[in-house]
Amino acid sequence: MSDNKYSFPEIVSREEWTAERKELLKEEKEFTRQRDRLSAKRRKLPMVKIEKEYEFEGPDGKVSLLDLFEDRMQLIVYHFMFDPDWEEGCPSCSAWADQIARGHLNHLHARSTTLALVSRAPLAKISVFKKRMRWEIPWYSSYGSDFNYDFHVTQNESVKPVMYNYRDKATLEHLGQHYHIEGEQPGISCFLRIGDTVYHTYSTYGRGGEQVGGAHYFLDMTALGRQEDWEEPEGRATGLGAPAGSDKILYPDEYDGH
């Protein structure tokens, strides 16, 4: 591998490095406190009662949104992009899911929280792909349901006005985000149950889902970062990584050493 196309960090003495690291630590600690304050505000958000009866299909047949909780108090839904016309799920969604779908969800379950994937693809396609990926995480089909449209992770103007990340079509076009105007979109939604009543407490879209899953935040601690074109310093890892949407993002079973 040639090193001359990369822009590596400056080489300094241990003393100089330690001095700069201590300065950065001050900002990291403030960022942690700010993140804690933001999380507290998130917990204080009001909630909306779910009035509609959504129907999903799982391995054991038809289920309701309440069933997805698996008798726990909270439900986190990862809106996995898998269009009914596709034969495979989204590679980026697959990369995210693979970081947790092979592991144990015991720590979530111990806190009365269930994590599940929901896609608009029919269950038959989901089942084939899930088996190929060797995932154990619960995964349901919302095919034929309004669920994806109501939570703004499938954009189709003939069904519902465009709305993604709390922005309407005109705003998205103004921002140059035409890729969010049609089709399947990424997102995470959280629900709370009180008895048999379900409430929607939170949804995040786009890069909002990066804070869970793992790899991105591990990479943020490294000198080469995520190796995305938008990162600073410019040219740090040109052409090295696998940017979002890139054909370098492989399905989990396609990597060497799988």
pLDDT tens profile 70-97: 999 999 999 999 999 999 999 999 988 9
Q: Select from 148, 78, 73 the least CA-distant residue to 110.
A: 73
Mean pLDDT over 146-157 rounds to 98
What is the per-residue pLDDT for 227? 78
Q: What is the mean pLDDT of the segment spanning 246-255?
A: 80
Enumerate the β-bridge partners of residue 167.
Answer: 164
Domain ranges of the chain: 48-211, 214-258
User: Residue 200's pLDDT is what?
Assistant: 94
Q: Could you tell me the pLDDT band of residue 258, with boundaries at 50, 70 and 90?
A: very low
**Per mean pLDDT, which range of 30-39, 143-152, 220-229 is the poorest?**
220-229
- pLDDT category at 32 given cuts 50, 70, 90 is confident
Phi, psi of 243, deg, nearest 5: -60, 155
Say what the pLDDT of residue 119 is: 99
Planar angle of CA 85, 91, 95, nearest 5 degrees: 140
181 contacts: CB under 8 Å, gap ≥ 6: 155, 162, 164, 169, 172, 173
Can you give the pLDDT at residue 4? 65
Handedness of CA 22, 25, 27, 29 (dihedral sign): negative
pLDDT of residue 105: 83
110 confidence band (pLDDT: 50, 70, 90): confident
pLDDT tier at 22 (50, 70, 90 boundaries)?
Answer: very high
pTM: 0.85
Confidence of residue 214 (pLDDT cuts 50, 70, 90): low
Q: What percent of the chain has pLDDT over 70?
A: 93
CA-CA-CA-CA dihedral for 60, 61, 65, 70, to nearest 10: -10
Cα distance from N-terminal residue to C-terminal residue, the chain: 22
> How far apart (Å, rounded) are the C-alpha atoms in residues 96 and 90?
10
Higher-confidence residue: 258 or 173?
173
CATH of domain 48-211: 3.40.30.10
CB 147 within 8 A of CB 118: yes
Who has greater pLDDT, 230 or 217? 230
